[in-house]
Every structure is written in C-alpha cells, then in structure tokens.
Amino acid sequence: MPPTGERCPVGSIDDVLRRLVEVRDRALVAATPDTVDGVAVVAALLHVVTCRVADLVDAGRFAAPAFLARLVGELADRFTAALELHAAGSPATPAAWRLLFDSRSDPSVPAAAFAVAGVNAHLNLDLAAALVSTWEHVPPDDGGPASAQYRDYCLLTDTVETTVDPLREDLGASGAGHLADLAVRFTRDLAWDEAREVWTDGADDERRLRSAEKLDAIAGWLARPLLGRT
C-alpha cells in the first residue's frame, strides 16, 4: 500500500494533473541545465496522457467515468508513493521504479527510454494493483469484453499506447522498439487478468504482495535494457 503522506483526493483527474506538474517542476529545478531528468520526463509524459484522458472524459467517451477517474488517481498515487519511498532510501521501492530513479541523471539514457521505462513501471507493475484498489471503491462489473469497465480500461491503455508510439524511433538502441511494444502492448491482458485473479482470490495483503512481486520482476526485466542496465 502507498505510504502515508500528502495525497490528492483519488478520483479527481484535475488533482492528478496538478500533482504531475508539481513532480515535473520539482525534478526540473533539481536537474542540471545540460542533462535530461528521467523523473521530469516521466511526469511530463503521464501529464500528457492524463490530459488526453480528461479530454475523452469531457467528450463522454468513457462508459464508467467513476471507475476511470478512480483508476487514474490510483495510478498517480503509486507513482508518487514510489518517489517518496526512493527519496527515503527505502528497500521497499519497487525495482521497476528504482531502476528508473537511480538512472534519472544518466546522460547515456535518452529521454524516450526514460519515458518508456516509466510507462512500463506504471502499467506492467502498477496497473493491476490500481485496478484492485479501484474496485474496493467502485465495485467491478462482470469484466467481460463488452463490459463498461473493460471498455474504459482498453480506451485508457490505448491512449497510453498512442502517446508512446511516436517515441519508438527516438529510442535508438537495437531492439529498443521491441521493448517499447512489450512495455505497452503486453500490458492490457496481463494487468487486467492479474487484477481479476487477485480480486477473485480475496485481495488480501498476502495475495497482493505475491502479485506485486511477480509483476515487479517482469517490469524490472523490461526496464533494465531500456535504461542500459543489462
């Protein structure tokens, strides 16, 4: 579970946007003028994704807006929680996020790699847990392919994919585009199915921990080559 501390009211997309701007701006202030800061890159990308989601909400594109807004808030909460854990030197910082935060000032890592590594941690690690936490407040529907929640979930992941797609040609390293595909396109079925299994199993602390450890191993495996840590 995220540590205690200041939190935006989960479910408010405007507050999520505000928090992402704050994270980005703090990271930019701390960065040196001639380096790219990985945390600022990730926060900026997530802000773009969230703005696009907000526009889709305003256009009435989401069939289960309460579910969607809660999910967006839960995802943001996990990003800021990981930042807080890492800043405190906590060994509980998830590996997928720790690899990115440890590399945030590495001049050999292109901005696109930071962005994709952030999306990888956000989705391949955090998304399943965020779904389970969302269902504690907005009960799940039947979860089938035609269900409102699943369609909204797909629209959310499609929005992330559309935002990340232009970054592929900036990754440079051989095979990095394939890693971007794995980091984003592999996510949809993995996170949804994992969350449904955890929820069906009762979603107790032990079951959530087992799920988080498994997903962090997958996300960490994807993050290492993206960040030059092979």
Question: Residues 38-52: pLDDT tens digits?
Answer: 999 999 999 999 999
What's the pLDDT band for 229 if we cut at 50, 70, 90? confident
Rounded-to-integer distance, Cα 170 and Cα 168, Å: 5
Question: Count H helices, E strands: the chain?
Answer: 10, 0
Rounded to 5 degrees, what angle do the CA atoms 28, 30, 31 make? 65
**At residue 179, what is the residue type?**
L
Rounded-to-integer distance, Cα 170 and Cα 110, Å: 8
User: Is residue 173 in some structural domain?
Assistant: yes
User: Is residue 3 in some structural domain?
Assistant: no
User: Is residue 108 in some structural domain?
Assistant: yes
- Structural domain range at position 199: 13-226
Q: Work out how many domains the chain is built from and give that number.
A: 1
Could you read off the pLDDT of 164-199 as tens digits, one per residue?
Answer: 888 876 675 545 556 666 666 666 778 999 999 999
Strands (DSSP E) contained in the chain are: none
User: Is residue 6 in some structural domain?
Assistant: no
User: Is residue 5 in some structural domain?
Assistant: no
What is the mean predicted confidence (pLDDT) over 47-71? 96
User: Is residue 199 in some structural domain?
Assistant: yes
pLDDT recorded at residue 8: 37
Which residue has tokens 């945030």? 104
